[in-house]
Structure 1
């Protein structure tokens, strides 16, 4: 990994010093490179030879800076579980700089590299600046899973481990996951300067984000566009991306678990994988985070929480003179945007040609059938495509099939309105209904193997999650419902 092979930039570091603290990382002792995601490596223009180099390990373990990079930790604030938490920030993360690579379409893109678990920062509060192997593997796999599903997300380049002790409920070992994204700016990044009544920094951040990430969608202030025009269009785009992201999450049964405003990306990315979960048995009010005793971030609450967070975000720009009523008008578009995106996904998942009046009742009925029987979310959709050939797979997911059979009568009647034939419908449904998701028990199996020095489970999972819509011969285990012990797993904010 030679500096001559890298084009490194430090655009975030070019902001005023108040946005961050430059500092050295606290690297892991005797680190081991546990795994590298080859897809992300390629996006950065790097090779496996680069990844095998001592320099790569030194950088990704927090023991050396990125050549040409400026290492820093960013400050931000936010609302946590609906309560203003004040100043937060990168309490255990360090931004190394950005590497020029390519996006999925091959277009040049700057990818920021951020290490999570690389030591204390001024924003650590009571934290130790570390991350444990358990949570690092979960984030590493989760970002790959979401990428494979086609859902916007931060990505993970690699996973580094060490025998350094980390004290949580028990003593665990330390790890660092290298996260990759165009930017890690959050709703809370704007809230920080609004709360501080620092309009200069708020405007600086606004200009930075628009010029670097929204230049094609949001105009700059000029003789034709007032600052209010710029703000409203920027808020519009963030609303659109957030509404779409919420529809994406709902369509695959993904539960984020900690939808605080500091965990919401202005780019519409899934960010900060903590106590997340893909549902096994469907419950409409499923809560994946054991810490969330009030169910604030339940699965069915996520779309409305997205809007609540957007209100906090948009309100920041009142400090720059934006009209509160006009911003409210922009926010009122969210529900329609979310519903349109949600319906589009559900039409595809149910194999319908187009949305028609009455389809809301059909879909609500489907959710009721799944909820009452706690039927497996992923497999119920997947097996639905097979009912013309064999209903056995779908029926096997239900202890009592009475309600299912009644719903299937309505569903088959609705399918008569389709122009496509059954074979085409089944093929198209399989393209949007994954066979594999990162179930909690699968992640736990990868964790337990990794704790014994075996990364083969992580490697196998990465392969199926790369293409979750296609059946992989020999990988049937990864498409199965959880065993009894897997249904009892709990995840919390401890990581």
Structure 2
């Protein structure tokens, strides 16, 4: 079935690339689709705010129909998975169904879970309600946190059964991004000795997203430099909020520096540098403390694809900038989290001593920072803050050093500092147990908890008493939650 929406300004861009970059596909209809969630704020931003009321729009979002004038396509890419070359991968359960011109620029609309593609590798191409809710909520939560990410426009459900570890029901998420281009797109053609395709893709990427690179003496080298910077800054932002991606394979790394592919992710509850959110990651390759290094490892894989164009020495120089960019940005984020106006080299020691105290007690990462904002520059340490640490005497010593540093920094007062800190230290993040609670309700047909949690996550830095339950310490049963790649 084809639908025409006259006010939908189609602007094919990725679809205009030659066929070797993608395959035409046909989505598989879902029975009895229903709209579970509609992101009104994003729809307004994209000028799609009236679309939800259009006849046939839910069918389009479910993959039951396609747009007149735009082919449904799935892109091909390859990648390293858990450090091992996996060969050809591609969009196995996602398909690009529209590219539209918006006030913010061209945006791709992608359906995840709309059926098989040539890259499904014998899988069904479906997504389940559980994983779809997690992606819908987290992509928008990350956007609200100010972290670059793909977005989620809609969530459609269906009673169709889908087999995973157990029988679940199907769902489709409408994902939105300027592009879903991945490191793996470049790897695919490089490892097939199709360097002309690598150049063509690099030229397209520069023209569409990095036009400033075209004006340089070496556009491909400038592109690598730009991706190095965006990746370093992205992972620094992850570290600051305690976010773990869970499956940082090269096919899940965005050329635009976006958080891409929400699967077995997790926000840390108790601080643990070795935190592994994906129980399939039995070696801890993608632990919290490893994420910065893995980002660099993945960039090495990308740089390999450009070596014939830029040379090894130039590539090494570009990659060597990664650590400095990461540390500069992470240091600036720590400065803001600590309420400092200036960052000094010795502040790494202050931050490191704090991390050691938090690690020893597995102190709740999110709640600690909000409570630290309550610390007065003088006087007694609030009990609700001090009691979060096991070694209270050591924490007292740290607080004395921190207060001295605040004095040297010239902080203007407790109230202003608290305001600054609360503007960068979220009160609400998508903890796994919160996602689990709304998933259980949705599986019983109750979507109100999902909408309520989404509303809280849309304003993560606000102090909204009606959402206080989302800012509480996780319950004991949360420790038994397990998230895998199927999530």
* TM-score class, shorter: over 0.9
Verify: 1:383 aligned to 2:375, yes or no. Answer: no
Q: 2:213 aligns with which of 202, 213, 218?
A: 218
Structure 1 range deviating more: 356-365 or 62-71: 62-71
Q: Distance in 2 between matches of 1:197 and 1:412?
A: 59
Q: 2:231 aligns with which of 229, 242, 253?
A: 242
Counting only pairs closer than 5 Å after superposition, residues 212-291 of structure 1 correspond to structure 2 as 212-215=208-211, 217-219=212-214, 225-226=216-217, 229-291=218-280
Counting only pairs closer than 5 Å after superposition, residues 293-312 of structure 1 correspond to structure 2 as 293-312=282-301
Q: Distance in 2 between matches of 1:200 and 1:125?
A: 27
Name the counterpart of 1:91.
Answer: 92
Q: Distance in 1 between matches of 2:421 and 2:388?
A: 18
Q: Distance in 1 between matches of 2:392 and 2:114?
A: 51
Q: 2:431 aligns with which of 435, 439, 446?
A: 439
Verify: 1:183 aligned to 2:172, yes or no. Answer: no
Q: Distance in 2 between matches of 1:397 and 1:355?
A: 26
Instruction: Write the deviation string for residues 353-400 of structure 1: whole angstroms up to 9, x where unpaired.
Output: 101131111000111111100000001111100011862332343355
Name the counterpart of 2:103.
Answer: 102
Name the counterpart of 2:408.
Answer: 417
Q: 2:24 aligns with which of 22, 26, 38?
A: 22
Match of 1:475, SS state, is helix
Instruction: Write the deviation string for residues 125-153 of structure 1: whole angstroms up to 9, x where unpaired.
Output: 13210111000000000001100100000
Match of 1:160, SS state, is strand
Verify: 1:359 aligned to 2:347, yes or no. Answer: yes
Q: Distance in 2 between matches of 1:131 and 1:397?
A: 39
Conserved? CA contact 1:9–1:69, under 8 Å = no
Name the counterpart of 1:82.
Answer: 83
Q: Distance in 1 between matches of 2:391 and 2:131?
A: 37
Conserved? CA contact 1:27–1:118, under 8 Å = yes
Verify: 1:430 aligned to 2:418, yes or no. Answer: no
Q: 2:388 aligns with which of 397, 406, 409?
A: 397
Match of 2:168, SS state, is strand
Counting only pairs closer than 5 Å after superposition, residues 102-251 of structure 1 correspond to structure 2 as 102-103=103-104, 109-215=105-211, 217-219=212-214, 225-226=216-217, 229-251=218-240
Superposition CA RMSD, Å: 1.3
Counting only pairs closer than 5 Å after superposition, residues 469-484 of structure 1 correspond to structure 2 as 469-484=461-476
Q: How far did residue 99 of structure 1 move?
A: 1.4
Q: Distance in 2 between matches of 1:353 and 1:93?
A: 44
TM-score (ref. length: structure 1):
0.95
Match of 2:399, SS state, is helix
Instruction: Write the deviation string for residues 215-249 of structure 1: whole angstroms up to 9, x where unpaired.
Output: 1x2125xxxx55xx111110010000000001100
Q: How far did residue 2 of structure 1 move?
A: 6.1
Structure 1 range deviating more: 354-363 or 395-404: 395-404
Conserved? CA contact 2:357–2:391, under 8 Å = no
Name the counterpart of 2:450.
Answer: 458
Name the counterpart of 2:325.
Answer: 337
Which structure 1 segments of 5+ residues have no match?
A: 104-108
Q: How far did residue 43 of structure 1 move?
A: 1.8
Name the counterpart of 2:7.
Answer: 5
Match of 2:111, SS state, is strand
Match of 2:213, SS state, is coil
Match of 2:315, SS state, is helix
TM-score (ref. length: structure 2):
0.96
Name the counterpart of 1:106.
Answer: none
| Residue 199 to residue 379, structure 1, CA distance change in 2 (3 Å) | same
Name the counterpart of 1:71.
Answer: 72
Q: Distance in 1 between matches of 2:116 and 2:466?
A: 43
Instruction: Write the deviation string for residues 278-320 of structure 1: whole angstroms up to 9, x where unpaired.
Output: 000010110000000000000000001000000100110123x
Conserved? CA contact 1:285–1:298, under 8 Å = yes
Q: How far did residue 54 of structure 1 move?
A: 3.4
Q: 1:33 aligns with which of 32, 35, 38?
A: 35
Q: Distance in 1 between matches of 2:480 and 2:107?
A: 38
Instruction: Write the deviation string for residues 387-424 of structure 1: whole angstroms up to 9, x where unpaired.
Output: 11862332343355333222112111111112222221
Match of 1:292, SS state, is coil
Instruction: Write the deviation string for residues 153-175 of structure 1: whole angstroms up to 9, x where unpaired.
Output: 00000100011111111001110
Point out 4+ residue stretches in structure 1 off by more than 6 angstroms. none
Match of 1:99, SS state, is strand
Q: Distance in 2 between matches of 1:219 and 1:359?
A: 39
